[in-house]
Amino acid sequence: MSYIIPIGPYHPALEEPIHAKVYVEGEVITGADVFVGYNHRGIEKLATERNYIQTLVLVERVCGICSHSHALTYAMGVEGVMQAEVPKRGQYIRVIVEELERLHSHFLWLGIAAHIIGHDSLFMHIFNEREAVMDLLEALTGNRVNYAMVTIGGSRRDVSDEMRASVMEGLLKMEIALDRIKEIFLTDKTIAMRTQGVGVMTTEDAIRLGAVGPHARASNVPIDVRRDAPYACYDEFDFNIPVWPSCDVFARAVVRVLECYESMKIIRQALDTLPEGPINLGNKLPKVPAGEYVVRHEAPRGQLTYKVVSDGGQTNARVSIHVPTFRNAPTVPVMLKGNTVADAGLIVASIDPCFSCLDR
């Protein structure tokens, strides 16, 4: 029998509103349509009514998980228009917070994936480490979610020697826990049965559809803006770009686990070699000349692109935000086809969607 099954706009497995219309023959999905647009907040329009410092506060609230990524990308766009050179210490601090945010994002996704699979003991184990990351971010920035660590021209706050030692100690404990999490993901039979061969997106489809971030790397596509178009001194750090060949939900979990190790490696290098000097160019309201600038950034979910346009006035003439979920959403119908209805929620979640970002 052929049926059409609606998933969403609100669904127990998806905390944000999305509507997927799934076409099935019995339990097997034969096709799917995905609809978005339930979460629009008009942030790009609001940006044209605010000055550059106020817009930092605004764009940091595009997404609660990768708030630093949005603030940093916008700041780099404004700095590009100004042709401003950010002090190296400020760049390093930006990298430290960015990689801690990547750890937070990946732990969050891994925990939610474990919960959807039904492995709630693993979910609690992972969220314990997510809490540890949030504690480190709070110690560095004073905040657990929107860190307010970026200003136009550098970093808003410095990192003391005591903070450096605290982060190093926290990473050591976290890496021990991550070893156990990795072992469970690689060896647990329940995880294998629910993820291996599920939601396959081939390397060819990933390239054809323009997938980005861990979602693309899990389909054996080695792309990463931090390496391909380095920013914020990333060219000074040694790190790998993990990929996985199986192209399924299992690969998406493994890639994120491996990326956690690389983020820890980058943070340690940045802390060990943190340069002396100023952290910013001053916190006065910047004078931005007329011009435009496009900047790419590797957010936790993938490539984030901002276009900042200035007419020389006190407010933005235009801020265009292109988020990774926008690039990855078209892969969902391809991944759903041939799988069962029971796996649909996990497959949709496997792209690590952020409809708050997508619908802005």
Residue type, 217: R
Q: DSSP secondary-structure letter at 355?
A: H
Q: DSSP secondary-structure letter at 314?
A: S
Taking only the tens place, the pLDDT of each residue in 235-258 is: 999 999 999 999 999 999 999 999
pLDDT tens, per residue, the chain with 360 residues: 688 888 777 766 566 777 778 888 888 888 888 887 777 888 888 989 998 889 999 999 888 888 899 999 999 999 999 998 899 999 999 999 999 999 999 999 999 899 988 888 999 999 999 999 999 999 988 888 888 899 998 899 998 889 999 999 999 999 999 999 999 989 989 889 998 988 889 999 999 999 899 999 999 999 999 999 998 889 999 999 999 999 999 999 999 999 999 999 999 999 999 999 998 888 677 788 999 999 999 999 999 999 999 998 888 999 999 998 888 888 988 998 888 888 888 888 888 888 777 777
7, β-bridge pairs: 20
Domain residue limits at 56: 2-359
Taking only the tens place, the pLDDT of each residue in 180-195 is: 999 998 998 988 999 8
Question: Under a CB-based contact definition with an 8 Å cutoff, are residues 105 and 65 in contact?
Answer: yes
201-208 long-range contacts (CB < 8 A, ≥24 apart) are 201/247, 201/248, 201/331, 201/334, 201/335, 202/247, 203/247, 205/331, 205/334, 206/247, 206/331
Euclidean distance between CA atoms 32 and 24, whole angstroms: 9
Total domains in the fold of the chain: 1
Nearest to 77 by CA among 353, 337, 310: 310
Percentage of the chain lying above the pLDDT 90 cut: 51
Residue 79 maps to which CATH number? 1.10.645.10
Query: Is the pTM here over 0.85, yes or no?
Result: yes
